[in-house]
Amino acid sequence: MTRQILVTSALPYANGHIHLGHLVEYLQTDIFVRFQRLRGHRVAYMCADDTHGTAIMIRAEKEGRTPEALIAEMSEAHQRDFAAFGVSFDHYGSTNSDANRQVAGGIWQKLVEQGLVVERAVPRLFDAEKGMFLADRFVKGTCPRCKTPDQYGDACEACGSTYPATELIEPRSVFSGSAPQLKDSKQFFVRLEPLQQKLTEWTQQSGALQPEVANYLKGHFLDKPLQDWDVSRPKPYFGFEIPGQPGNFWYVWFDAPIGYIASTVEWCAKTGQDVDQWWRNPDCEVVHFLGKDITYFHTLFWPAMLHCGGYSLPKRVHIHGFLKVNGEKMSKSRGTFVNARRYLDFLEPEWLRYYYASKLGPKIDDLDFQTEEFVGKVNSDLVGRVVNLASRSAKFVEQTGLSASYPDDGGLFARAAAMAETIAACYEACDFREATRLVMTLCDAANEYVEQKAPWTLKKDPTKARELQDVCTVVLNLFHQIMVYLTPVLPGLSAKAGALLGSAMDYWSLAQQPLVGRPVAKFTHMMARVEAARVSEMFTPEEPTPASIPAAAPSPTLEKEPLQPDITIDDFLKVDLRVAEVLEAKAVEGADKLLQLTLGLGGDVRRNVFAGIKKAYQPEQLVGRLVLYVANLAPRKMKFGVSAGMVAAAGTDGEVYLMSPDSGAKPGQRLH
């Protein structure tokens, strides 16, 4: 039966270029899509750029151009990168399109009609001088955590912490420089609680989600009343103004997934189809691919919107993990944060397609790009086992072509043909790792056959010309089958195989019938080998150009926590730093990071302090030692008691190093 399947990949944000991490998703989706097409199903692969939001607006402003100009450029760059990797979208749209505005408006209308939109006043920061509310990114101030100045209102770039903009120290508007005030803002919320039952049913029983995802939702969200979702942002905002609510815009996450539908709308208009046949048709399967970071948008909000808007709920939401490189998170400083374009400067796209395919299973596990493994898979699997089959047989039949009838091969072809459905099931389940592994077993069998028949020996005996042709006919047919099975993963290589044998490579069942009595083209090189050095080179941070090398080598620690602006001696004297002796130290029940310290300041003066140093120090090793103590920090009430002041320590990224005075210092002495 021909199925109708609408497939999406998450919309890449227009604020950055496509990198290897993105490609895990797009290549995975593309393999799935190409597989379905190969099976003869009707497939629409929809994607678009996600273009709205504050980040885009700020960046465009910084670069002195309109957001529209910025997103146009990014869309072009994204599509160029995707095309280079063979990602075969049927349509690539933009969330900043008329179609998207209309679909979003339609869904909004339905939400309003169903009484799911509520209006509420929320205190937000307000720039009185400019007369406007400030999005988090428009407020700058000192980070409440690490005290780095000049940080945005939502997150600190120095310490990575996030916080509400209202917690910033000395906040100011980036527009007027004035101190923002708190003022009630009109915000629109979508109520999700009325949909609780529907969502519970869909997440837990429809089979659309991987089991671990269903569990996650059940334990995290569905076990308590669902919170209303704040879907509006006051102007200025790059996005769509909410109909009838001047000055209020849909939050980027409201209209982003709607881009899936809008993209389909544009595609249908272009191709003369009815969009409802794709999005309001119970016989059409909607399948989303996305990363684990955006799970809950796609498994709670999005189905809620679809449901209310009268669209089909996804048949399947397939979630994947993140990309790591040689066991570690991708990192710009280590050079492992590699853009698609940089990859193309060093390596071949099909290598990556195969490598990812050979690693991707149906679960959410992260995928680790390991240099040696990559080289091994490409060189031994693809070149050594797959391509080598053609390479070691094609030239013997260049003159004669394939035998007129398929020779006896001991059942090899039939066995491989019989495996078609097993392999197909692996593709269907997104277990590409198993699919490619199975295909490799076919390669092994084929190579054994070559070894046994030794065509190079047959060639020496003119009376065995017929046998030589038969052997090569078998080998090339096994190669052809293998390439049919690998077509979703390696469309480029598949096309070359097709050209060699005159096969269209466009249908899964081509693997069922042997090719006979046809010419074989001259064998040409099909795939290069990888050099490990090229891969390493790609992952090596680029040398800064001479002009940009600063006079002094940058300090990595200073980069994490930049030096602070100058203060006066009076400022410094406000801080009362004392030598203190640790009299007691013990773990705090129920706290992972805290130790409770009793500090002595000489005589009987004692202070109780909770310090986040448990991971670095044992309580017993602290007792008796002298530490540096911030004596006049206002006491802070914590879950476990009141902490009076703090113990000074250095360190980033979880490291903790306590300060110690030289020997001879006495508890209670002040630092000058």
Partner RNA sequence: GGCAGGAUAGCUCAGCUGGUUAGAGCGGCGGCUUCAUAAGCCGUAGGUCGCCGGUUCAAGUCCGGCUCCUGCUACCA
The contact set with RNA (CB under 7 A) reads: 145-146, 161, 211-212, 215-216, 219-220, 292, 327, 359, 361, 363-366, 368, 370, 372-373, 376, 379-381, 383-385, 387-388, 391-393, 395, 433-434, 437, 440, 444, 447-448, 450-451, 455-456, 525-529, 590-594, 610-612, 633, 636, 638-640, 643, 646
For helices 211-220 and 196-205, the axis angle rounded to 10 degrees is: 150
CA separation for the pair 469, 526 (Å, rounded): 22
CA separation for the pair 273, 266 (Å, rounded): 10
Minimum distance from residue 436 beta carbon to RNA (Å):
10
Minimum distance from residue 215 beta carbon to RNA (Å):
4
Query: Which secondary structure element, helix H or strand E, spans residue 123, and what is its range?
Result: strand 117-127
Is 332 or 525 the residue whose CB approaches RNA more closely?
525
Minimum distance from residue 72 beta carbon to RNA (Å):
32
Minimum distance from residue 198 beta carbon to RNA (Å):
21
Query: Which secondary structure element, helix H or strand E, spans residue 218, and what is its range?
Result: helix 211-220
**What residue type is 298 in one-letter code?**
H
Minimum distance from residue 163 beta carbon to RNA (Å):
10
The CB-side HSE value for 495 (13 A sphere, CA atoms) comes to 4
Q: Rounded to a whole number, what is the distance in angstroms from the first to the last CA of the chain? A: 83
**Both tokens assigned to 201:** 């049913």
Is 63 or 328 the residue whose CB approaches RNA more closely?
328
Minimum distance from residue 654 beta carbon to RNA (Å):
9
Is 305 or 426 the residue whose CB approaches RNA more closely?
426
CA separation for the pair 263, 94 (Å, rounded): 7
Minimum distance from residue 423 beta carbon to RNA (Å):
14
Question: What is the number of H-type helices and E-type strands within the chain?
Answer: 25, 26
Is 237 or 523 the residue whose CB approaches RNA more closely?
523
E strand segments, 294-366: 316-320, 323-325, 328-329
Minimum distance from residue 227 beta carbon to RNA (Å):
13
Minimum distance from residue 75 beta carbon to RNA (Å):
28
Is 62 or 639 the residue whose CB approaches RNA more closely?
639
Minimum distance from residue 540 beta carbon to RNA (Å):
21
CA separation for the pair 346, 338 (Å, rounded): 11
What does the DSSP assignment read for 182-199?
EEEEEEEEE--GGGHHHH
Is 29 or 447 the residue whose CB approaches RNA more closely?
447
CA separation for the pair 495, 487 (Å, rounded): 8
CA separation for the pair 264, 273 (Å, rounded): 10
Is 157 or 212 the residue whose CB approaches RNA more closely?
212
Is 305 or 394 the residue whose CB approaches RNA more closely?
394
Minimum distance from residue 579 beta carbon to RNA (Å):
17
> 417 in helix, strand or coil?
helix
Could you tell me the sign of the dihedral formed by the alpha carbons of 91, 97, 99, 104, in that order? Answer: positive
**What residue type is 245 in one-letter code?**
Q
Is 94 or 643 the residue whose CB approaches RNA more closely?
643
CA separation for the pair 59, 64 (Å, rounded): 8
Looking at 563-658, list the stretches that DSSP marks H as alpha helix, in order from N- to C-terminal side: 569-573, 619-622
Q: What are phi and psi of 199, to 5 degrees?
A: -70, -40
Is residue 525 packed enough to be buried (19+ CB in 10 Å), middle (13-18) or exposed (0-12)? exposed
